[in-house]
Structure 1
Amino acid sequence: MCYDDNARPPLPPGQGGSARGEDIVLTSADGTRFAAYAAQPDQPLGAQVIIYPDVRGLHQFYKELALRFAEVGIQAVAIDYFGRTAGLTARDDSFEYMPHVQQLQLPGIFADVKAAQDYLYGTPAGKKATFLVGFCLGGTLSFLSGTQQDFGFAGVIGFYAGMSRNMGGEGTLLDRAAQIKYPLLGLFGGADQGIPNEQVQEFEQKLKQSGIPNEVISYPGAPHSFFDRRATDYAEASSDAWNRVLRFISAHAQNV
């Protein structure tokens, strides 16, 4: 498990503006209804984000993260993965997520993110540069979604993206790194026991060989899930991560 019910995203840098958020239900192309959380800035900028949660799906950490993005002017929608197998039930600590994780298929994920993208494009803010931001399983899915040309993303961002999960038998993230089509920002904990530094280095090397614009950062001594307001020992790493995410979005939003 990446974040429990008490985890909260760190605050972004600077003075945040006002924003509002709401629980919504989206419908995928195959008719699946799934939960999402939308956050609207009062003063929107030129970018939007779709948030991929960790293995537990859409829980409070990601709703608050969507609000934090909106407070700095970036419209956000966080999505749940499990509409096909768990419906619209709650994703608190009592949710038995692993049976549902094991049933995830990439075509369903891609259909759901397309529904989220269509939702963003249909809001009053309209069509803007769209980025994916994912955590843990969501980081892996962010990068795998980046292999799909049709989305037209401005960039893909992943925190602690696992390298060895073979999603749907189509290969691991390391296997498919060279297929990523969009600028990429990868953020890792240097002391993350589940993602060896050797894998992170191999991932970065494959991105460089393919020519994908990328920035891969590993924070020495930081564990998995270091990006948490409670993790005061890693506050500096969290602050740097926020700054890198916002700079990445600002830089690549202009290229779309």
Structure 2
Amino acid sequence: MCDELTEKETEQFLLNGGKINRRDFSKMTAAAIMTAMLPKLAFAETVTESTVEIATPDGVSDCYFVRPSRGKHPGVVMWPDIKGLRPVYKAMGKRLAEAGYSVLVINHYYRDAKAPVVAPDASFGDPETMKFLRGLASKLTPDAITSDAKAYVSFLDAQASVDRERKIGTMGYCMGGGDSMRTAAAVPNRIGAAASFHGGELEISDGPDSTHLLIPKSPAHVLHAIAENDDKRSPETKNILTAAYKAAGVPAEIEVYEGTLHGWCTLDFAGYNEKQAEKAWGRLLHLFKVALA
């Protein structure tokens, strides 16, 4: 999960590995979006991008909507990590659209502010940033996420670029992983696939709102890509998930990605692991190809 320990583990990992020095580490996050290069698709779709405003029971959510410029395609709801909708998630959403999906990247925090809510180089190592983001995230109750998920799915179903004959996918990073699972349960008749990237122990709790208890409510095929350091902190998470999916008869791929830190799939994270992020991206595309057909 995203916390002070995550930041310390990331910095120590990079320093020990000799990849960067301490001075460069402090600059890395701000520069990452500009310098990171995502592999290009051989036959990428031409896409159309826009900022959209979606009415929800609690207000108006400003979101990024990117889709192929021609034709109808499966819709996807993308839930960012705790730092929210920002340039790196627009880049990730655009990449998925180029692969043939109509992608809605949402702003978790629309009740309080338009995106982005923090600067690109914001770090959990900064106590004020941590306090601010946790304050925003604390308002995102299970009921709020469920309500928002329904509104986002309804928006997609109303778009000319979305093929309503095909299921919708949902995916999330960090806390967005749990939101993705909650989306699948909120609209089980429309969600065909759900993916969680470095959701880690955020997927499991002892309370009645734990996302793993929602598994029987959705038939969506699922991918859980777990960070190695999250697994070390909470090694039973993968076992609980595996047992819950098996009991529900729901297809699920659950894997701990070797050598990864929490956040490894996000380009502006200092511990971004390109090799493993590309592997996880490939598994996502396979999931959507099979389950959103």
TM-score of the two chains, using structure 1 as the length reference: 0.84
Q: Matched residues in 2 for 1:157 and 1:247: separation? A: 11
Matches within 5 A, 1:1-256: 1=2, 6-7=32-33, 10-11=38-39, 14-28=42-56, 30-44=57-71, 46-84=73-111, 86-88=112-114, 90-93=116-119, 96-126=132-162, 127=164, 128-164=166-202, 170-192=208-230, 196-229=234-267, 234-254=273-293
Contact in 1 for aligned 2:188/2:218 (Cα 8 Å) = no
Q: Matched residues in 2 for 1:176 and 1:110: separation? A: 12
Q: Matched residues in 1 for 2:237 and 2:291: separation? A: 26
Contact in 2 for aligned 1:26/1:35 (Cα 8 Å) = yes
User: CA deviation digits over 1:155-191, x for unaligned, max 9?
Assistant: 1111012435789x63323444444432111111223
Range that drifts further, 68-77 or 142-151: 142-151
- Please list every run of at least 4 consecutive aligned residues from structure 1 whose deviation after the TM superposition is greater than 6 angstroms: 230-233
User: CA deviation digits over 1:115-170, x for unaligned, max 9?
Assistant: 22222222222424211010010001111222235552111111012435789x63
Q: Matched residues in 2 for 1:232 and 1:108: separation? A: 31
Contact in 2 for aligned 1:162/1:173 (Cα 8 Å) = no
Q: Matched residues in 1 for 2:41 and 2:243: separation? A: 31
Q: Which runs of 5+ in 2 are unaligned?
A: 8-28, 123-128
Q: What secondary structure, in the 3-state scheme, does the structure 2 residue paired with 1:249 have?
A: helix
TM-score of the two chains, using structure 2 as the length reference: 0.75
Decide which structure has greater helix share: 2
Q: What secondary structure, in the 3-state scheme, does the structure 2 residue paired with 1:225 have?
A: coil
Percent same amino acid at aligned positions? 18
Q: What secondary structure, in the 3-state scheme, does the structure 2 residue paired with 1:146 have?
A: helix
- In structure 2, relative to structure 1, the CA distance for the partners of 1:10 and 1:251 (3 Å cut) is same
In structure 2, what residue type is equivalent to 1:250? K
Q: Which runs of 5+ in 1 are unaligned?
A: none
Q: Calculate the aligned-residue CA RMSD, in Å.
A: 2.9
Q: Matched residues in 2 for 1:146 and 1:119: separation? A: 16
Range that drifts further, 138-147 or 189-198: 189-198
TM-superposed CA distance for 1:97, in Å, is: 1.7
In structure 1, what residue type is equivalent to 2:161? A
Range that drifts further, 192-201 or 237-246: 192-201
Q: Matched residues in 2 for 1:78 and 1:158: separation? A: 15
